[in-house]
């Protein structure tokens, strides 16, 4: 997808740049590597760090970064060294220990690397980067150290979050400017629609919806409601796990990238999976964004448009308190009716009931205002890369 991408810039390299290793195991989907790659790029481009990323699944990574090459054990991309983490014990062909070590999402560092960390003249700063959660207890545990049972090392827990006292979430310095440029340029938006969908932008009375979700039984009801909508709905669907439901609804053998279909007042475009800057443009081009997991959830908040979150499902509904915690932050200033409507819709989209599109649409003006205000509030927490580097500087003096 073409887009006006954030220009992260290239700061002057410090005389003694901080070296940072990020370890990432791709558990499922693209969220793990998506977060790690965004963080790596910010640390390198905005803070001048020398960054190396260990990742075990280059195929998933390549979806987000098409210029990645699958064969090499080591390559440099966008100024960042990428190591193919082939097995848990592997720590690169040449064992090097960085000043800052980031263990993403409890992936567990190679034992040989931990041993080398302990033998280093000055122990590195070791972060365990946790998954994002909006729950209140996050602030209490953010930046707490955990001593290693065998070595003179401590791991610091770094918790992304939506409220004060947490690590915040990732946001590039120039993201707001890039969004404003896209939204303020008719030519940029028209080019985006033609390049991505092969069609001109939709009419002004259409509601544009991006749909990025896990498999979801609620989608069938929602597609029917969009089909019967009083005004046009234009659906933008990145190819993925929800594509099969679209194919069934439209009576097609598949809903692969490049497919276009119409039923009633619903028209839908299947889009190719895109690199990260292209996904931001998709969010900016839409009126309402359906997002999933962690990375797209964060990007939707910076897009300052109403959104619906499909949280990653966990056993025993352990994900629902996290969903409610995010709703509590996001809906804090909404009226009681709008807050209740959005809560019902989010819960229905996450398996509890039937989503009511008409009710959602009635509150759209209030949700649109809240989305813009929330992006400003969230920025006050500070961005994750900036918060991490600020803390690291205090520890590496």
Q: What are the Cα distances from residue 256, in Å, to 221, 244, 261?
A: 21, 9, 11
208 within 8 A of 193, measured Cβ to Cβ = no
Q: What angle do CA 59, 56, 302 make, to 5 degrees?
A: 70
pLDDT computed for residue 94 by the predictor: 65
Q: Give the pLDDT confidence score for residue 379 in this predicted structure.
A: 97
Top CATH class of 175-379 equals alpha beta
Residue 3 confidence (pLDDT)? 40
pLDDT at 29: 61
* pLDDT tens, N- to C-terminus, the chain (397 residues): 334 344 444 444 556 899 999 999 887 666 788 899 999 999 999 999 999 999 988 988 888 888 999 998 899 999 999 999 877 666 666 678 999 999 999 888 999 999 999 999 999 999 999 999 999 999 999 999 999 999 999 999 999 999 999 999 999 999 999 999 999 999 999 999 999 999 999 999 999 999 999 889 999 999 999 999 999 999 999 998 899 999 999 999 999 999 999 999 999 999 998 888 889 999 999 999 999 988 999 999 999 999 999 987 776 767 788 999 999 999 999 999 999 999 999 999 998 889 999 999 999 999 999 999 999 999 999 999 999 999 999 999 7
Phi, psi of 132, deg, nearest 5: -70, 135
Question: Measuring CA to CA, which residue among 221, 288, 289, 226 is closest to residue 261?
Answer: 226
DSSP secondary structure, 257-316, as one string: TT-EEEETTEEEEEE----HHHHHHHHHH-SEEEEETTHHHHHHHHHTS-EEEEPPP-GG
Structural domain boundaries of the chain?
19-169+382-395, 175-379
Q: What's residue 8's pLDDT?
A: 43
Q: How many CB atoms lie within 10 A of CB 8?
A: 16
Q: HEC profile for 231-254?
A: CCEEEEEECCCCHHHHHHHHCCCC
Q: E strand or H helix at 145, and its extent?
A: strand 145-147
Catalytic residues: 32, 294
Q: For position 60, what pLDDT does the model report?
A: 86
């Amino acid at each position: 997808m073409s887009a006006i991408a954030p220009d992260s810039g290239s700061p002057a390299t410090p005389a003694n740049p901080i070296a940072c290793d990020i370890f990432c195991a791709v558990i499922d989907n693209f969220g793990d590597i998506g977060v790690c790659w965004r963080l790596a790029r910010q640390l390198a481009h905005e803070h001048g760090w020398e960054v190396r990323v260990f990742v075990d699944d280059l195929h998933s990574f390549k979806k987000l970064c098409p210029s990645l090459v699958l064969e090499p054990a080591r390559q440099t991309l966008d100024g960042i060294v990428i190591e193919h983490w082939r097995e848990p014990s592997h720590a690169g062909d040449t064992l090097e220990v960085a000043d800052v070590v980031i263990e993403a999402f409890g992936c567990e560092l190679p034992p040989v690397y931990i041993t080398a960390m302990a033998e280093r003249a000055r122990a590195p700063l070791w972060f365990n980067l946790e998954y994002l959660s909006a729950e209140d207890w996050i602030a209490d545990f953010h930046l707490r150290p955990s001593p290693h049972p065998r070595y003179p090392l401590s791991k610091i827990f770094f918790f992304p979050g939506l409220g004060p006292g947490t690590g915040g979430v990732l946001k590039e310095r120039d993201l707001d400017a890039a969004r404003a440029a896209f939204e303020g340029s008719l030519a940029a938006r028209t080019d985006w629609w033609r390049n991505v969908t092969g069609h001109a932008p939709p009419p002004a009375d259409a509601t544009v919806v991006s749909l990025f979700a896990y498999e979801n039984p609620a989608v069938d009801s929602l597609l029917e409601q969009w089909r019967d909508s009083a005004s046009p709905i234009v659906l933008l669907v990145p190819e993925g796990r929800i594509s099969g439901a679209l194919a069934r609804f439209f009576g097609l053998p598949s809903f692969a990238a490049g497919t276009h279909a119409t039923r009633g007042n619903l028209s839908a475009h299947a889009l190719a999976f895109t690199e990260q800057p292209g996904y931001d443009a998709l969010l900016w081009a839409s009126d309402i964004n359906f997002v999933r997991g962690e990375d797209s959830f964060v990007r939707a908040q910076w897009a300052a448009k109403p959104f619906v979150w499909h949280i990653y499902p966990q056993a025993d509904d352990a994900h629902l308190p996290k969903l409610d915690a995010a709703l509590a932050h996001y809906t804090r200033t909404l009226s009681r009716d709008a807050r209740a409507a959005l809560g019902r819709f989010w819960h229905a989209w996450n398996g509890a009931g039937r989503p009511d599109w008409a009710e959602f649409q009635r509150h759209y003006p209030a949700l649109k205002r809240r989305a813009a205000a929330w992006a400003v509030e969230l920025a006050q927490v500070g961005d994750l890369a900036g918060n991490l580097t600020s803390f690291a500087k205090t520890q590496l003096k």
